[in-house]
Chain A
Amino acid sequence: MLNFELSQEQLEIYNEALKFSKNEIAPKASEFDEKAEMPFEIFKKAWELGFYNTCIPTEFGGSGLTTLDSVLISEAFAYSCMGMNTSIMANDLALLPIVIGGSEEQKKKYLTPFTEEFKVASFCLTEPESGSDAASIKTTLKEKDDHFLLNGNKMWITNAGYADLYVVYATVDPQLGHSGITACVLEKGAEGIEVGLPEKKMGHCSSDTRALTFNNVKVPKENIIGGVGQGWKLAMKTLDHSRPLVASSAVGGAQAAFDHALKYANERKQFGKPLAKHQAIQFMLADMGIKVENARNLVHKAAWLLDQGKRNTKIASFAKAYSADICMEVATDAVQIYGGYGYSKEYPVEKIMRDAKLIQIYEGTSQIQKLVIARELNSSI
Chain B
Amino acid sequence: MKIFVCVKQVPDTETKITPKGDGTFIETNSIKWIMNPYDEFAVEQALLVKAANAGSTVTVVRVGGVKDTEALRTALAMGADDSILVEAEDNLDSYMTAKALKGAIEKSGNSPDLILAGKQAIDDDCSQVPQLLAQMMNLPSVSVVVGFEQNGDTLTLKREVEGGAIEVYEVNKPCVVACNKGLNTPRYASLPGIMKAKRKPLEKYSLADVGVTAEDQRLKYSEFKLPEEKPPGKKFDALEEDKQASIVKEVVGLLRTEAKVI
Residues of B53-78 whose CB lies within 8 A of A:
73-74, 77
CA distance A63 to B189 in the complex (A): 14
CA distance A296 to B190 in the complex (A): 24
Chain B residues contacting A293 (CB-CB under 8 Å) are none
A-B contact count (CB 8 A): 33
Chain A residues contacting B107 (CB-CB under 8 Å) are none
Query: Contact: A8 with B198, CB < 8 Å?
Result: yes
Chain B residues contacting A65 (CB-CB under 8 Å) are 191
Indicate if B126 sits at the interface (CB-CB under 8 A): no
Residues of B18-35 whose CB lies within 8 A of A:
none
Query: Contact: B195 with A16, CB < 8 Å?
Result: no
Query: Contact: A49 with B198, CB < 8 Å?
Result: no
Contact with A along B187-198 (1 / 0, CB 8 A): 011111011011
Query: Contact: B198 with A51, CB < 8 Å?
Result: no
Residues of A1-58 whose CB lies within 8 A of B:
8-9, 12-13, 16, 19-20, 48-51
Query: Contact: A48 with B194, CB < 8 Å?
Result: no
Give 14 CB contacts A-B under 8 Å.
Answer: A8-B73, A9-B194, A12-B77, A12-B189, A12-B194, A13-B191, A13-B194, A16-B191, A16-B194, A49-B188, A49-B189, A49-B190, A49-B191, A65-B191
Q: Is the interface of A mostly helix, strand, loop or mixed?
A: helix
Query: Contact: B188 with A63, CB < 8 Å?
Result: no
* The one of A8, A9, A12, A63 that contacts B192, using a Cβ cutoff of 8 Å: A63
What 13 new A-B contacts, CB under 8 Å, besides A16-B77, A49-B191, A50-B191?
A9-B195, A9-B198, A12-B73, A12-B74, A12-B189, A12-B194, A16-B191, A19-B188, A49-B188, A49-B189, A50-B192, A51-B191, A65-B191
Which chain A residue has the least Cβ–Cβ distance from B192? A50
Chain B: minimal CB distance from A184 (Å): 30
Chain B residues contacting A12 (CB-CB under 8 Å) are 73-74, 77, 189, 194, 197
Chain B residues contacting A9 (CB-CB under 8 Å) are 194-195, 198
Chain A residues contacting B191 (CB-CB under 8 Å) are 13, 16, 49-51, 63, 65
Chain A residues contacting B74 (CB-CB under 8 Å) are 12
CA distance A295 to B194 in the complex (A): 27
Query: Contact: A16 with B188, CB < 8 Å?
Result: yes
Q: Which residues of B contact A (CB under 8 A)?
A: 73-74, 77, 188-192, 194-195, 197-198
Q: How many residues of A contact B (CB 8 A)?
A: 13
Closest 6 A/B residue pairs (Cβ):
A50-B191, A49-B190, A63-B191, A12-B194, A50-B190, A16-B189
CA distance A20 to B187 in the complex (A): 10
CA distance A63 to B73 in the complex (A): 19
CA distance A314 to B194 in the complex (A): 33
CA distance A50 to B195 in the complex (A): 11
Q: Which residues of A contact B (CB under 8 A)?
A: 8-9, 12-13, 16, 19-20, 48-51, 63, 65
Chain B residues contacting A19 (CB-CB under 8 Å) are 188
Chain B residues contacting A49 (CB-CB under 8 Å) are 188-191
Which chain A residue has the least Cβ–Cβ distance from B187? A49
CA distance A50 to B190 in the complex (A): 6
Chain B: minimal CB distance from A309 (Å): 22
Which chain A residue has the least Cβ–Cβ distance from B198? A9
CA distance A166 to B247 in the complex (A): 75
Query: Contact: A63 with B198, CB < 8 Å?
Result: no
Which chain A residue has the least Cβ–Cβ distance from B77? A12
Query: Contact: A20 with B198, CB < 8 Å?
Result: no
CA distance A49 to B198 in the complex (A): 17
Chain B: minimal CB distance from A337 (Å): 20
CA distance A19 to B77 in the complex (A): 14
Which chain B residue has the least Cβ–Cβ distance from A69? B191
Which chain A residue has the least Cβ–Cβ distance from B74? A12
CA distance A39 to B91 in the complex (A): 44
CA distance A51 to B194 in the complex (A): 12
CA distance A361 to B248 in the complex (A): 64
Chain A residues contacting B189 (CB-CB under 8 Å) are 12, 16, 49
Chain A: minimal CB distance from B77 (Å): 7
CA distance A51 to B193 in the complex (A): 12
CA distance A12 to B198 in the complex (A): 11
CA distance A13 to B194 in the complex (A): 7
Chain A residues contacting B197 (CB-CB under 8 Å) are 12
Which chain B residue has the least Cβ–Cβ distance from A7? B198
Chain A residues contacting B198 (CB-CB under 8 Å) are 8-9
CA distance A12 to B189 in the complex (A): 9
- Most B CB atoms within 10 A — which of A12, A13, A49? A12
Chain A: minimal CB distance from B2 (Å): 26
CA distance A50 to B192 in the complex (A): 7
Chain A residues contacting B73 (CB-CB under 8 Å) are 8, 12
Chain B residues contacting A51 (CB-CB under 8 Å) are 191
Chain A: minimal CB distance from B101 (Å): 25
Chain B: minimal CB distance from A71 (Å): 14
Chain B residues contacting A8 (CB-CB under 8 Å) are 73, 198
State whether A63 and B195 are in contact (beta carbons under 8 Å apart), knowing that A20-B188, A49-B190, A50-B190 are contacts in the complex: yes
Chain A: minimal CB distance from B192 (Å): 6
Which chain A residue has the least Cβ–Cβ distance from B68? A8
